[in-house]
Amino acid sequence: MNCTSTLYTIVAGEDKEIDILLKYADSEKPFNLSSASSIKAKFLKADNTILEKTLLNGITIISAEGGMLKIRLEDTDTSLLKTGEEMSFELEIVIGSDTTIVQFEKVFSIKQRLFV
């Protein structure tokens, strides 16, 4: 599966929206999210635990047939994320009995605030 996402810089403590477009790698057709019963986004926190966003808490499907979704990270979320360059996250999509895991490797940087 191909995924399109912009490279993001996130400052800890700011609100951020991540736009995602999912496509099949072999055909470039959009990954249809219409029947998805669960979508989870997982981010690494500074304490090495996982911050999880779901359809009920932070993930919005923009176009199910078009494979487009948005992840909303609140300021309280970004303040918990592990800082560093080339950070990664993962999407877990459940459709029926099938689970698809999409890895977004090295797609964003988390920076500490300069002045608090």
The answer to whether residue 55 sits within a structural domain is yes
pTM of the complete model beyond 0.85: yes
Domain at 35, CATH number: 2.60.40.1930
List the one residue out of 11, 37, 46, 34 whose CA is nearest residue 92.
37
The answer to whether residue 116 sits within a structural domain is no
For residue 76, which phi and psi values (nearest 5 degrees)? -70, -30
The answer to whether residue 68 sits within a structural domain is yes
Number of domains within the chain: 1
Residue with tokens 């249809």: 32
Give the pLDDT band (50/70/90) at residue 51.
very high
pLDDT in tens, 70-106: 999 999 999 999 999 989 999 999 999 999 999 999 9
| One-letter amino acid of 100 | T
Q: What is the span of the domain harbouring residue 84?
A: 2-111
How many angstroms separate the Cα of 63 from the Cα of each of 56, 77, 100?
Answer: 16, 25, 18
